[in-house]
Amino acid sequence: MKKQIILLPGDGIGREIIHSAKVVLNAIASEYNHEFTFHQHAIGGDAIDNYGVPLPEDTVKACHNADAVLLGAVGGPKWDQVPANIRPEKGLLGIRKELGLFANLRPVKGFKSLLHASPLKQEIIEGSDILIIRELTGGLYFGQPSERRNNGNSVVDTLSYTREEMERIIDKGFQSARIRKKHLTSVDKANVLESSRLWREVVEEKAKDYPDVTVEHLLVDAAAMKLITNPSQFDVIVTENLFGDILSDEASVLTGSLGMLPSASIRTDGVGLYEPVHGSAPDIAGKGIANPLGMILSAALMLRHSFGLDEEASDIEKAVNECLEQGYHTADLRIAGGTQVGTEEMTNLVLENLTTKS
């Protein structure tokens, strides 16, 4: 299979971990006789420094023409003072919007060997396997107006959705639940927000098309609490953009570290974008200690969702699991014992386990 992949390293540890995904994909390509070609483009702070804008035209064009996009992370204190309209995050939000990637899938499944890495009790997290589906191109992140008023002394952000935008993401929630444990939790704030009341109506309407899926509505504050007190009650969670952002960082606690979580940003058909859930981690950037596994697992999601290469994706996930079983971990995973390794060593260990698979 021939595929063209765009690499957008971005900033901070994004630049360190993107390489890990590339070498792992190259190993898969040679094992299975695929031909993956990679082209690197600028986004975020990196693009601001080099081109004066967080999302150059050239980057957008390349992504449109590619089979899939892998992104590291963007942002950092270096760009804190740049005007709001050219902040690094605008690059990330912009490419998601440009590519129409309305569904962000964030699987949260703990590896057995990392049960001790979570600050939560083992009996609480055991058996949890959640897919968080975050709406990605609307909601509070994009609603207009979003601006300062009265000489900067008052401010407005807007949570806006059309019924169609709600329908397609909620459909994705039901479809995903259908091929998993057939349970969908819709998270909203319907006791306060009008947008959430329409969201609930749409969920109820859609539920009629999926009689095999059980549906539950949860308010976002209760969902935040239940996610860490009874995570195994969840199967698929579908929710608004900002709610999904917050809940998925929270859910990462189940897996031991934010550095473990991959994500897939997709649309009904067309190019998909794959990136770890974490940010550019300026506090550890440049030290060679970033956990590359969220990035590597994102590459596995790319193989599965964009290219239909399920076996290859599973190989990567198994190799990651093997490394952890062998006791290797990066500094962000607080595990007593085992062997602590850096980004490059961890990547090499994944490669070794890929090639020695039975």
- CB of 106 closer than 8 Å to CB of 294: no
Determine whether the annotation assigns residue 163 to a binding site: no
Q: Which of 141, 136, 133, 225 is nearest to 186 (CA)?
A: 133
Facing residues of 7 across strands? 40, 70
How many alpha carbons lie under 13 Å from residue 303 in its C-beta half-sphere?
A: 28
Report d(CA 299, CA 309) in Å as an integer. Answer: 11
Q: How many helices (H) and strands (E) does the chain have?
A: 12, 14
Report d(CA 255, CA 253) in Å as an integer. Answer: 5
- CB of 242 closer than 8 Å to CB of 140: yes
202 binds, among Mg ion, ligand NAI, none (CB under 5 to 8 A by kind): none
Site residues for ligand NAI per CB under 6 A: 13, 73-76, 89, 92, 258-259, 275, 278-284, 290-291, 294, 330, 332
Q: Which is nearer to Mg ion, 22 or 134 (CB)?
A: 134
At 267 the three-state DSSP class reads: coil
Q: Which is nearer to Mg ion, 46 or 245 (CB)?
A: 245
Determine whether the annotation assigns residue 9 to a binding site: no
Determine whether the annotation assigns residue 282 to a binding site: yes
Active-site option among 46, 235, 245, 332: 245
258 binds, among Mg ion, ligand NAI, none (CB under 5 to 8 A by kind): ligand NAI
Active-site option among 67, 129, 171, 249: 249
Is 245 tagged catalytic?
yes
Active-site option among 11, 22, 90, 141: 141
282 binds, among ligand NAI, Mg ion, none (CB under 5 to 8 A by kind): ligand NAI
Is 249 tagged catalytic?
yes
- What is the residue whose two structure tokens read 């023409």? 65
Is 129 tagged catalytic?
no
How many alpha carbons lie under 13 Å from residue 66 in its C-beta half-sphere?
A: 26
284 binds, among ligand NAI, Mg ion, none (CB under 5 to 8 A by kind): ligand NAI
Annotated binding site for NAD(+): 76-89, 279-291
Annotated binding site: 76-89, 96, 106, 134, 221, 245, 249, 279-291
Annotated binding site for Mg(2+): 221, 245, 249
Residues identified as active-site: 141, 189, 221, 245, 249
